[in-house]
Amino acid sequence: MSATELTLTRPDDWHLHVRDGALLAAVLPDTARRFGRAIIMPNLKPPVASVAQARDYRDRILAALPEGSRFQPLMTLYLTETTTPDDIVEARESGIVHAVKYYPAGATTNAASGVTDLRRVYPVLEAMQKHGLPLLMHGEVTDHAVDMFDREPVFVERHLAPLQQDFPELRMVLEHITTREAAQFVQAAPAHVGATITPQHLLMNRNAIFVGGLRPHHYCLPVLKRETHRQALVAAAVGGDPSFFLGTDSAPHPRHAKESACGCAGIYSAHAGIEFYAEAFEAAGALDKLEGFASFHGADFYGLPRNTDTITLRKTPWTVPDEVDFGGVPGVPLRAGEALGWRLDD
């Protein structure tokens, strides 16, 4: 590796939204160019809550891939209060379902079918612990009495710590962590507890939502936090701890849905998914740690083989387009109209 060229084992994205239909076909090539695999989020309408639905969704994703692509979608099930232990057995035996996603009811986009009380799904969690199927968590409380910026630390205290005590062998991933408290919890936890970190939470703090006016395209959930938390996430990502791995949480929303009276949460970053991480690691003086975070830690956690091919990034400045196509409607990508220093070499 040099200051102008960076070759990595092909990375994977362990947290990705690709939606469906025309939008799926429009955004999937951005991910497939960069990543070998991705954990696919199940929060469609209706949610992907059964193995049959996951298999159908996987087929639609494979059909939307560019010709010759070897990208592999890794499917998840949406945890609901009607999920059963038998569903978990079927998921484990399917060979295509790699995890189950927990959304607190109403916590984020298409989370209306989520869980209102984790104790209602304890039999399912017991089955997941028994069969080794990871629980992926949107780790925020939805209690309106809790400040928006404190919802993740409160989740860690109220729910994640007791969950670890009640299910000490349950494999868990705290997704898109945003706070020092979440990073510290994962660092202190056993090896079967991991966390994903997004590019936006490594590169921006909450000031980015307000610079030059309200910036709806920087609004995501969990929201960006204070600079001290960003610094803690960078330290966790570059520290070499295998419990932390890449998960973009790239989420395409049309411009009109973001720039509305009640703008939706989500940032589209797949157009430069690995390039953003290279920028963050370079700024931390830790480019030599990027391959572990992006290409090794997640695969090892999920018990999958590491990819064998490589990608190359070059220090070639380029300008992100002002808009991208989201299936016939415009979308605004992260850093629209701005320059990036690293570029994927095709």
Pairing mode, if any, of strands 5-9 and 310-314? antiparallel
Nearest to 41 by CA among 63, 23, 16, 69: 16
Ramachandran assignment for 249, one of left (phi > 0), alpha (psi -120 to 50 degrees), beta (any other):
left
Q: Is-contact 275 340, C-beta < 8 A?
A: yes
Q: Is-contact 318 339, C-beta < 8 A?
A: yes
Q: Which residue is catalytic, options 249, 288, 300, 345?
A: 249
Q: Which residues are annotated as a binding site?
A: 15, 17-19, 43, 101, 138, 176, 221, 249, 253, 265
Q: Which residues are annotated as a binding site for substrate?
A: 17-19, 43, 138, 221, 253, 265
Q: In what order do the strands lie in the sheet with 72-78?
A: 13-16, 37-40, 72-78, 97-102, 135-137, 172-174, 193-197, 244-246
143 catalytic, yes or no? no
Nearest to 185 by CA among 153, 216, 213: 153
What's the start-to-end Cα distance of the chain, in Å? 17
Catalytic residue set: 249
